[in-house]
Amino acid sequence: MSTPYILLIEDSDDDIELTKRAFAKNHILNEIVILRDGEKAVQFLFENAFEGKGTPQFILLDLKLPKVSGLELLERIRSHESTRLIPTVILTSSKQDEDLLAGYRLGVNSYVRKPVDFNEFVEAVRQVGLYWLVLNQIPRSSL
């Protein structure tokens, strides 16, 4: 069995570092696989079949990605048999209600707006990690 990991699909170096620091500060030690654009995410998820790493425990997905948008990627994740059950959380700075509505229409599990304050961001990541890594139960046999 492969080691559980978190898939972070994010193009901002600052947000990647903040997320990694927030996980570390909260003692969330799972490996974080980082993909910096939607096209690389498509390759990783669908063409390379997770690159031998197994299925991620959950996906943190930014909306404003180069090459393939986060919403387009979410639609592909939910329409493909091998990825449709992976818990997917949109983690974005977008404050547009249309993005929130579109995310839920496409089947996102959760939508979290990135707080501007680092301490608030650390707390948000702690809660996301606690829920999706510890409390949430996913059907392992289906993945």
Instruction: Please check whether residue 141 lies inside any domain of the structure.
Output: no
In a domain, 80, yes or no: yes
CA–CA dist 124, 60 (Å, integer) = 12
- Cα distance between the two ends of the chain: 12
In a domain, 81, yes or no: yes
Q: How many domains does the chain have?
A: 1
- Residue 143 resides in a domain: no
Domain assignment present for 57? yes
The answer to whether 68 and 41 are in contact (CB under 8 A) is yes
In a domain, 122, yes or no: yes
Read off the pLDDT band of 1 (50, 70, 90): low
**Three-state SS sequence of 60-109:** EECCCCCCCCHHHHHHHHHHCCCCCCCCEEEEECCCCHHHHHHHHHCCCC
pLDDT in tens, 68-89: 999 999 999 999 999 999 999 9
Stated pTM of the model = 0.89
Per the domain annotation, does 92 fall within a domain?
yes
CATH code of residue 66: 3.40.50.2300
CB 40 within 8 A of CB 62: no
Report yes or no on 47 lying in a domain. yes
Can you give the residue range of the structural domain that contains 86? 5-134
